[in-house]
Amino acid sequence: MSSATSAAEDVCCKRLVGKVALVTAATAGIGLATAERLAQEGASVFICSRKQSNVDETVAALRSRGLEVAGCACHVGSAEQRRQLVEQCVKRYGGLDMLVSNAAVNPGAGPLAETPPDVIDKILDINIKSAVLLVQEALPHLLRRPGASIVFVSSVTAFNPAAPIAMYAVSKTALLGLTKGLAAELGPRGVRVNCVAPGIVPTKFSAALVQTPELAARQAEGTLLRRLGRPQEQAAAVAFLVSPDAAYVTGETLVVAGGMQSRL
């Protein structure tokens, strides 16, 4: 474990002790950083990824550092696997307080007007439809816990969908609306719903945007801070939104993008 990680754990507050979090697509990138941060703050965290081997490796790594983490393989596009995901989480930890919907795909690149139907179908199926259906699966359990919350992981590109990832960005725009709609429905029932919109964070998922030093530098120049983001910075935003510190925050999108343009 690096000294930087040790330092982060030393100063990490414990706002989530006794809570249970479910984080999708949590074996790499922002999802992994989020699972790690929530566990550092005291939550029991249940993770998933499409490959069981990735889940096993991640769980072992986080447990080796004394964090309470478990998980299973789940393709969020499968109704049966979504059901089993929530069921196993609740069976393992006795309930569910927080759902972080992070799973997303981007199977194609190019202008919106040239996006093939199969690419559109897959993006909307995983990035939007599956997110809604996962909420439906988790909601009965969330409603049983005071202070329950949901966080969607969107993208700063939601505010300005452009090639080469325009269709993906449009699906992330839809998450902003989903956040507002669900917050209005679930607020009176005691469940808060918020969203995080990350900027450009160098991960495997965003590799196409930062695949050369020149391209990465260009992306960094598009921020006011003149640098790219880090997964841990997105995780900190999620941790705030699910914590008691955000008890009066719902229906909001928190942009964590170094000052990139973020208005519709």
Q: 221 in a domain, yes or no? A: no
Burial readout 248-262 (b: 16 or more C-beta within 10 A, e: otherwise) = ebbbbbbbbbbebeb
Backbone angles phi, psi at 150, to 5 degrees: -125, 140
Structural domain count, the chain: 1
Indicate which CATH number applies to the domain containing 34.
Answer: 3.40.50.720
Q: What share of the chain is helix, strand, coil (3-state, %, to 5)?
A: 50, 15, 35
For position 102, what pLDDT does the model report? 98
The two three-digit tokens of residue 113, written as one number: 């007007």
Q: 260 in a domain, yes or no? A: no
Q: 73 in a domain, yes or no? A: yes
Q: 211 in a domain, yes or no? A: no
**Residues in Cβ contact with 180 at an 8 Å cutoff, skipping those fewer than 6 apart:** 251
- Catalytic positions are 168
User: What range does the domain containing 38 cover?
Assistant: 15-203+232-254
Q: 261 in a domain, yes or no? A: no
Q: 154 in a domain, yes or no? A: yes
**Polymer length of the chain:** 264
Q: 9 in a domain, yes or no? A: no
Q: 210 in a domain, yes or no? A: no
Tens-of-pLDDT digits for all 264 residues of the chain?
444 444 445 557 999 999 999 999 999 999 999 999 999 999 999 999 999 999 999 999 999 999 999 999 999 999 999 999 999 999 999 999 999 999 999 998 899 999 999 999 999 999 999 999 999 999 999 999 999 999 999 999 999 998 889 999 999 999 999 999 999 999 999 999 999 999 988 766 655 665 667 776 777 888 899 998 999 999 999 999 999 999 999 999 999 999 998 876
To the nearest 10°, report the CA torsion of 19, 27, 40, 251.
Answer: -50
For position 219, what pLDDT does the model report? 75
